[in-house]
Structure 1
Amino acid sequence: MPGGDGRRDEQRLLGPAFAGLAAGVLLLDAEGRILAVNPWAEGLLGRTAAAMAGADAHELLHRGPGGAPVPRSRCRLLAVAAQGRPAWGESDAFLTGDGRSLPVRWSAAPVLRGGRTVGLAVLFADVAGSTAPNGREAARMSHLEGLTERLTLVGAITEVLSETLDVEEAVDRLGPLLVPALADWVAVDLRTPEGDVRRVAVLGPAGRDSALEAWRGPLPPPTALSRSALVRVLHGAAPVVLGVREMAEPPDAPLAAVQTGFLRALGATSAAVVPLTSARETTGALTAVRTGAGRPFTEGELALLADIGHRAGVAIDNARLFGEQRDIATAMQRHLLTELPRDPDMSLAARYQPAPAGSRVGGDWYDAFRLSDGAMALVIGDVIGHDLQAAARMAQLRNILRALAWDRHEAPAAVMARLDDAMTSLTDVPMATVILAYVEKPLAGSWRLRWTSAGHPPPLLLLPAAATPSRGEARYLEAGQGLVLGAGGDPERHDGTEELPAGSTLLLFTDGLVEVPGADLGAGLEKLRRHAAQVAGYPLEEFCDQILRVVPPGSTDDTALLAFRVPSG
């Protein structure tokens, strides 16, 4: 809660703005504490601003009809801050300084800062006495309430659209904010990069309406000479409101005919068509429809819808640009990943999957190649960053590691130490995590794994059924851990060694498979371990597909994995 100086500043700002308004104003913080009041509120409540400052508004003032206390859990006033949406009340009372219950009509709207609700503003008036606003004061109060509601709506729309880089998700988030606040129905049409038009959403009171699915899909091309409001808006014309007379005009183009049929099917009495615009282009159009008599869209509502259309257009354009860049980066990433060697003595499989939500591809990679001494080198790594530059850096680091591993018959830890030095001297890669592992088959005895890790999630070893009684079905190989590459060098890098029983499976993976920001990494690793144990008996390619199913919802990282299976005999 702000200190005394902050409250005095708020009073100085609030007083001149609302001193002449015949309604009380309370400014509360997100917990419902009173930050400031206007002079009219002091008069209505019989309390001074100083006496109310810092008090809990619900406990001090809010009462139900007849003055009965209102349970905090059912307080509609406090719910405004919790839910971030405006609310109104006409049957409540506020407790005055002399103990009377003052019947009030109130409206409250959240105060947003940086997309977060930090408080609420409450307007109220005495509905029983002469202090109830009338005439010009009533009009001013109604205008102020309407403006507050619209600003709140625009703020909410801006926030939800800024949280996604997916076009379909942006459209789905837009509908519930417009229906029923501004319209009974909303249709969203988007222009494709090829110049076609698709109706991507028809949203009503219950969201997507299956009965109107037939109106979704490809639309006829927007013939430039048509008088249709939709056609003209798709070509960059200004927003327009259509009344019953305009909607009854015979269509003059195929797209106009589709729009006319759509409006008639809804029983539209008023429609507003606004462009979805960005700095680059008109990306589509939004049609808002009302079906009730006597409720035509006003010029103010059209201006509000036009503003919303611009914000939605910018969000859609950003999502498309992101998608184009993501497609380029994904193609580049896949192109840079090496093809696995074909070896009759062992089975290898790998997968690469871009992040499922809200991120870009980048620095994850896998690699496998035969060394000069006959061992198979397995590599999994992750260069910091999620963009085209990270993908290019990944290719640099992969090629250097290949050369260093081939150059000398050294242990994995020694190669990793040289890679750390080379990365710092020869590249601009800031940091990376890597596992380098050698799979070796002695002339006699079982297969053996030697590996070292530079800050990477540990390998997961899945043992065949015959080997599980004493060692467990699946376990992480924790040995060989060292510092990440680029952290200043690690003079104590070590190798881990492990015998690989016939039929066992080794899984190397990047952290996108197990990690979500803000979640417990240990829980993700345990979930992977249990799932991998359950699907270990699948053929190796299908095993990899099954492993990808545990990528956690909300993951913001791409995923690479490399699996090796020891021959059964």
Structure 2
Amino acid sequence: MTRDWRISTVTDVARARIAVARLAEAHGVPTVERVRLATALSGHLRQCLTKGGTWVVSLEGPESSSGAPALHAVVTPSPDAPVAGRAPWTVTVPCTEPGHAVGADAVAADPASLSEALLGADEDAALVLDKLAEQEELVAFHREELHQTNQGVVALHAELDAAGRAQQEAFAAERRAREEAEKARRRLTFLADASAVLTASLNHDEIVRRLPELLVPRYAGGVDVWLFDDEDDPRVPSDRPNVAVRAARTGRPQYAADHPGGMPGVDDRPPSALDSGRPLLCVPLSARRTPLGVLTLSSPGERWDPDDAVMLIELARRTGIALDNARRFEHNRDIAETLQRALLTELPTTPGLSLAARYLPATYGLNIGGDWYDAFRQRDGSLITVIGDVTGHGLHAAVMMSQLRTALRAYAVDGGGPGRLLTRLHGYLRHLQPDLFATAVIARFHPDEHTLTWAAAGHPPPVLRLPDGRVRVLDAKPGAMLGIPLQQDIADHTEHLEPGSTLALYTDGLVERRAAGIDPGIERLATALGAYGSADLDADLEESADRILHPLLSDSERDDDVCLLLCHLHR
């Protein structure tokens, strides 16, 4: 379909506009598109009239090669127009609604027809306005919805920002908490390790020496330990900071500096005149409510951390306890060692027989135990030698050892061989000291008869060196340990002695080592004893005893007492 209209006047424009609108309605062009087509066509034709001449309006369609129906309005100038040859103006609208017949062939120019056409155009405009109102309502709805969405987005961003800040604060707080926990862990670890070091020693000089090694330079720039018991020692400086004297008098920690320390439980004081450039922390050392001294620390930096100060005060408290334990231990050790050495017998002098004894206390523990030796004559002229070991250490072991020595001498007055004496000692322990156990070896010499009678009860066997240098271990069946809940009758054993023979009695501390046992130690003793000739033993048995001990005690640390008794029969 193609329709043409020639346009030269406004009336022609009106008729063409009305015709195009009716044809568009007839071919199913939607109202909005129809109004858009008529409005665009009217506006263009108004511009054409201003240019003058005759113009041709063509309406083509609705057939389309693409399959989608549409109307095409084309405006071209006539050949006689002043702007002839100008490119045509074209507008296209789709036909998407069902069409209906409309008389559009002839449009009258009378007022009634034009008015009717104008009313029709107003109806289309009203429909467009209704559509526009709907669109405006839809736009307003979407605008409000977008506004609400924007508000929600803004609120969400605010919440996310707040959550981000809260998360950062939480991370920072967690990091600070971890750092504080790590510092607390390091302090507790240091306190535990330092306490183990201080309490491992029972020597107060060693404890004082270890303090600077533990504290400098991590927690202190310098360490001074003022012990009240050392006031008379000329090596100890007599000038003390005033703050240390105040700590000794008040029993409270004192802090001396030109600024407050802010440390809990510590009194702030002016800087010390002796060391005004560095802060000083003075902590009393005490134990069992007894003042022992003052620990003075100079600051490792500008000041101490309050938590470090609390840890140092606790370390000072533990140091005081360790010093008190060491002083008490040393006091008891001196008493026990004095008692034991007083109880050790002075060896008798016997023609034809030399005796040499050595006693060495343990280097660990209380340094005193139940090892003992004795030698005395019987009524028949024989010589009794004995070496024994009471279980345990300390004052109790030393006292029990003295009781056994006294009981043995009392039983020996009545006579009897070594086995009989050990049997009676066993009964004594079972009935009078049921919680005490001991081991012992008793050897009886008959110098005139050149015989040796011996018996053992749970003790390492005697070692006999023959004149020709051969060494025998007298390991005949011994009795059980003295004091165990067992009835026993300990037997005697007899050996013939030739002049130049040497008998070694000893305790297990000489030969026993935890890592190797006792048998290798007995072999080492036999080797050491066999390395000396009879002439050397005849000449100086005391020196020989020291030379025999030396290779057997190569390790300087001993956890048990050592006792050795040598009996040498002259040639």
Aligned equivalent of 2:237:
219
How far apart, in 2, do the equivalents of 1:282 and 1:556 lie?
A: 33
Q: Is structure 2 residue 543 aligned with structure 1 residue 542?
A: yes
1:119-518 correspondence to structure 2 within 5 Å: 134-192=171-229, 195-196=231-232, 217-220=235-238, 228-235=242-249, 237-243=251-257, 249-250=272-273, 260=274, 269-290=278-299, 292=301, 295-408=302-415, 410-428=416-434, 430-443=436-449, 447-464=450-467, 467-468=468-469, 471=470, 474-489=471-486, 491=488, 493-517=490-514
How far apart, in 2, do the equivalents of 1:290 and 1:296 lie?
A: 6
Percent identical pairs in the alignment equals 38
Gap change, CA 1:456 and 1:315, over 3 Å in 2: same
**Offset, 1:436:** 0.8
Measured against aligned partners, the alpha-carbon deviations of 1:76-109 in whole angstroms (never above 9, x if no partner) come to: xxxxxxxxxxxxxxxxxxxxxxxxxxxxxxxxxx
Gap change, CA 1:290 and 1:368, over 3 Å in 2: same
**Offset, 1:283:** 2.1
Residues 361, 367 of structure 2: 8 Å contact kept: yes
How far apart, in 1, do the equivalents of 2:177 and 2:429 lie?
A: 67
Structure 1 residues without counterparts, runs of 5 or longer: 1-129, 199-216, 251-259
Residues 285, 317 of structure 2: 8 Å contact kept: yes
One-letter amino acid of the counterpart of residue 515, structure 1: E
One-letter amino acid of the counterpart of residue 204, structure 2: V
How far apart, in 2, do the equivalents of 1:376 and 1:248 lie?
A: 75
How far apart, in 2, do the equivalents of 1:235 and 1:562 lie?
A: 55
Residues 535, 546 of structure 1: 8 Å contact kept: no
1:515-530 correspondence to structure 2 within 5 Å: 515-517=512-514, 520-530=517-527
Gap change, CA 1:167 and 1:533, over 3 Å in 2: farther
One-letter amino acid of the counterpart of residue 372, structure 2: W
Residues 479, 488 of structure 2: 8 Å contact kept: no
1:75-114 correspondence to structure 2 within 5 Å: none
SS at match of 1:368: strand
After TM superposition, the structure 1 stretch with the greater mean CA deviation from structure 2, 173-182 or 556-565, is 173-182
After TM superposition, the structure 1 stretch with the greater mean CA deviation from structure 2, 395-404 or 163-172, is 163-172
How far apart, in 1, do the equivalents of 2:477 and 2:191 lie?
A: 54
How far apart, in 2, do the equivalents of 1:235 and 1:518 lie?
A: 52
Aligned equivalent of 2:32:
none
Whose strand fraction is larger, Structure 1's or Structure 2's?
Answer: 1
Residues 241, 297 of structure 1: 8 Å contact kept: no
How far apart, in 2, do the equivalents of 1:380 and 1:498 lie?
A: 18
Residues 191, 197 of structure 1: 8 Å contact kept: no
Gap change, CA 1:274 and 1:368, over 3 Å in 2: same
After TM superposition, the structure 1 stretch with the greater mean CA deviation from structure 2, 425-434 or 531-540, is 531-540
Residues 187, 308 of structure 2: 8 Å contact kept: no
**Offset, 1:368:** 0.3
Gap change, CA 1:516 and 1:555, over 3 Å in 2: farther
Residues 236, 282 of structure 1: 8 Å contact kept: no
Tell me the number of residue pairs that the alignment of Structure 1 and Structure 2 aligns. Answer: 390
SS at match of 2:330: helix
One-letter amino acid of the counterpart of residue 421, structure 2: V
How far apart, in 2, do the equivalents of 1:197 and 1:241 lie?
A: 27
After TM superposition, the structure 1 stretch with the greater mean CA deviation from structure 2, 480-489 or 134-143, is 134-143
SS at match of 1:420: helix
**Offset, 1:322:** 0.7
**Offset, 1:508:** 1.3
How far apart, in 1, do the equivalents of 2:298 and 2:548 lie?
A: 47
SS at match of 2:385: strand
**Offset, 1:453:** 0.5
How far apart, in 2, do the equivalents of 1:158 and 1:166 lie?
A: 14
Q: Is structure 2 residue 555 aligned with structure 1 residue 556?
A: no
Gap change, CA 1:298 and 1:327, over 3 Å in 2: same
How far apart, in 1, do the equivalents of 2:413 and 2:388 lie?
A: 18
**Offset, 1:135:** 3.6
SS at match of 2:453: strand
Gap change, CA 1:297 and 1:534, over 3 Å in 2: farther
SS at match of 1:384: strand
How far apart, in 2, do the equivalents of 1:514 and 1:234 lie?
A: 50
* TM-score, L = length of structure 1: 0.62
Residues 196, 219 of structure 1: 8 Å contact kept: no
One-letter amino acid of the counterpart of residue 523, structure 2: E
Whose Rg is larger? Answer: 2
How far apart, in 2, do the equivalents of 1:336 and 1:503 lie?
A: 30
Gap change, CA 1:249 and 1:307, over 3 Å in 2: closer
Gap change, CA 1:137 and 1:370, over 3 Å in 2: same
SS at match of 1:218: coil
Residues 258, 271 of structure 2: 8 Å contact kept: yes
One-letter amino acid of the counterpart of residue 201, structure 2: T
One-letter amino acid of the counterpart of residue 420, structure 2: A
